[in-house]
Structure 1
Amino acid sequence: MTVVRSLLLFALAALAEIGGAWLVWQGWREHRGLWWIAAGVLALGAYGFVATFQPDPHFGRILAAYGGVFVAGSLVWGIVMDGFRPDRWDLAGAALCLLGVAVIMYAPRG
């Protein structure tokens, strides 16, 4: 159950961080206005709290692993929200990052 909880927290963190960054991007680059930017800043702040609920107590490990989740999640966000079509190298890179997440977070430790 701990691994499932951790994976759900990583997904929630990705939603908050990537979504927040996208909202800021939309507000500023696409001229949607300050409300979009403000919503993005709130989402990015929420991301900072989500990581604290991970079961592992090591900040460096959590953030290092989350980096891989961020890479893969960003590609998924681009597909869903912006019509981005990753090529095989994007997908291979994301798979390598997710493999890194698994090793960093879930490898047996003595």
Structure 2
Amino acid sequence: MTGRSIALFVVAALFEIGGAWLVWQGLREHRGLLWVGGGVVALGLYGLVATLQPDAEFGRILAAYGGVFVAGSLAWGVVVDGFRPDRWDLAGAAVCLAGVGLIMYAPRG
């Protein structure tokens, strides 16, 4: 169950971050409305993937996903845009991912 949940978080991050990047490229980099449209579709798919999480608590899932989004955004910047995170970026992402672990996977009674 944890492995499936982590995989869904990764897929959701790819859709959300990728979708936002496509909208950014379409508007700010003047690549056109097809890029924006692709981004809108990807953002919709992000919302769909989020509903597939095994946990039924919307607030918990979205709160935990926030940490995945932070780390994923930095990783996207490295891979796609050549961004070079500093130690504070990396430390912040690690703190966020630790929060994901606590929120989603801590034992509950």
In the alignment, residue 13 of structure 1 is paired with which amino acid? Answer: A
Once the 2 structures are TM-superposed, how far is the Cα of residue 68 of structure 1 from its aligned partner? 0.0
Partners of 1:35 and 1:80 in 2: CA distance: 23
4+ runs deviating over 4 angstroms? none
- Aligned ranges 1:1-110 → 2 under 5 Å: 2-110=1-109
In the alignment, residue 4 of structure 1 is paired with which amino acid? Answer: G
CA RMSD of aligned residues (A): 0.2
Q: TM-score, normalised by structure 2?
A: 1.00
Structure 1 gaps of 5+ residues are none
What is the number of equivalent residue pairs in this alignment? 109
Partners of 1:89 and 1:49 in 2: CA distance: 32
SS at match of 2:84: coil
Once the 2 structures are TM-superposed, how far is the Cα of residue 78 of structure 1 from its aligned partner? 0.2
SS at match of 1:92: helix
Structure 2 gaps of 5+ residues are none
Instruction: Report Cα offsets for 1:62-95 as digits up to 9, x if no partner.
Output: 0000000000000000000100000000000000
SS at match of 1:89: helix
